[in-house]
Amino acid sequence: MSIQIASINTKFGEGDITGVDVRFSFKTESRKIDSSIRVELSPEEYQGNESIDKLKAKLKEVLIEELTSGEEIPTAE
């Protein structure tokens, strides 16, 4: 999976980081899936993953976790 980070926006509240929005695009090696998305990380998820390589690995982890969580995806009626 290839990940390209477009932007990192840090949210602050009362001088502390309250969240980090990361916008990125990714595509699979076969190029069958190609998408641009936004992921919101908690301060704890972001801490220690500030470098681009570590952040890409964290985004991949979060994306896979969310897609395989078993949560039902609503369908259009």
- For residue 31, give the DSSP letter: S
Q: Are 29 and 5 in contact (CB under 8 A)?
A: no
User: What is the pLDDT, as a whole number, of residue 16?
Assistant: 92
The model's pLDDT over 22-50, given as tens digits with 9 standing for 90+, comes to 999 988 888 788 889 999 999 999 998 88
At 56, which helix (H) or strand (E)?
Answer: helix 52-67
| CA pair distance 14, 59, nearest whole angstrom | 27
Structure tokens at 16: 């502390």
Report the percentage of the chain scoring pLDDT > 90: 57
Q: How do residues 7-16 score in pLDDT, each as one tens digit?
A: 999 999 999 9
DSSP state of 75: -
